[in-house]
Amino acid sequence: MAYNKKYADWGKKVWVDIYAPVEIFNENKIGETPVNKDNIENVVGRTVDLNLAFILNNFKYQNYKVIFQINKISGLKAYTEVKEVMLYPSYIRRITMKGTSKIEDSFIVKTSDGYDVRIKPLVITKFKAHRSQRTEIKKVYRKYLEEKVSSLKYYELIEKVINYDLQNEIKPTLNKIFPVSNVEIKRITKINQVKQKIQQTLENK
């Protein structure tokens, strides 16, 4: 029988279970991935993208996607951190109506537990806003988020964003500047943490 490298390599694979962070999703199993049994540490750094509704078993969270990144391996268990939380582009297109203004921003803030995160807020107005009104909404929303994020731990921030606590709190203030229909946080991205943990994992191996 002819040698088939593809199947020979597959015979060296083992399946590793992937778990969500205990801090926010109760360390639930969220998937599994194959890896060469001789180099199981190679699984560190891999990402898993999941719809938030699937993770929480609740349809109301369907507009958010969560990107997990494996940062630790123990036996055949891989543990993750939340690398990114983002709204699906299809949802953003759906709420952006003709005759409205779309106000976007992007900036970096440090959480109370020391993580740098990039925040991308989004506001959709009910009608077309003037430039000065758009500028004021952006400024007020940014100031609010900078103050809030710096007082929250990373996973507290994620929990408040996916439950719309921050968005709903600032909405009445923004409405006083100009009527708004949607106050969103389009994306949260943790910066430069995974690379450090991968290096630590390899050094401790």
Instruction: Give the residue-averaged pLDDT of 169-178.
Output: 98
Question: Residue 119 and residue 130: Cα distance in Å, rounded?
Answer: 24
Residue 194 has pLDDT above 60, yes or no: no
Structural domain ending residue among the three candidates 87, 121, 150: 87
- What is the Cα–Cα distance from 64 to 51, expressed in whole angstroms? 6
The closest alpha carbon to 68, from 57, 56, 53, 52, belongs to 52
Both tokens assigned to 45: 């750094």
99 — alpha (psi -120 to 50), left (phi > 0) or beta? left
Q: Give the Cα separation of 16 and 34 in Å (integer).
A: 6
Within a domain: residue 197? no
For residue 203, is it within any domain? no
In this structure, are 149 and 125 located in the same domain?
yes
pLDDT of residue 42: 86
Number of domains in the chain: 2
Q: How confident is the model at residue 173 (pLDDT cuts 50, 70, 90)?
A: very high
Mean pLDDT, the chain, rounded, equals: 90
Q: What is the pLDDT of residue 192?
A: 67
Tell me how far apart the alpha carbons of residues 177 and 181 are, in angstroms, rounded to a whole number. Answer: 13
CA angle 120, 190, 45 (to 5 degrees): 135
Across the chain, how many H-helices and E-strands are there? 8, 9
Average pLDDT over residues 173-194: 92
The count of C-alpha atoms lying within 13 angstroms of the C-alpha of 180, restricted to the half-sphere facing its C-beta, is 25
Confidence check: pLDDT of 24 > 60: yes
Give pLDDT, residue 9: 60
68 and 125 inside one domain: no
Task: Clarify whether residues 185 and 94 are in a common domain.
Answer: yes
Domain holding 59: CATH number? Answer: 3.10.20
Higher pLDDT, 89 or 36: 89
* pLDDT grade for 37, boundaries at 50, 70 and 90: confident
Q: For 127-169, how does the pLDDT look when each residue is reduced to its tens digit (9 = 90+)?
A: 999 999 999 999 999 999 999 999 999 999 999 999 999 999 9
Weakest mean pLDDT among 12-21, 43-52, 182-191, 195-204: 195-204
Residue 180 has pLDDT above 70, yes or no: yes
Domain limits at 156?
89-190
For the residues 26-53, what does the mean pLDDT come to?
Answer: 91
Contact in structure between 115 and 55 (CB atoms under 8 Å): no
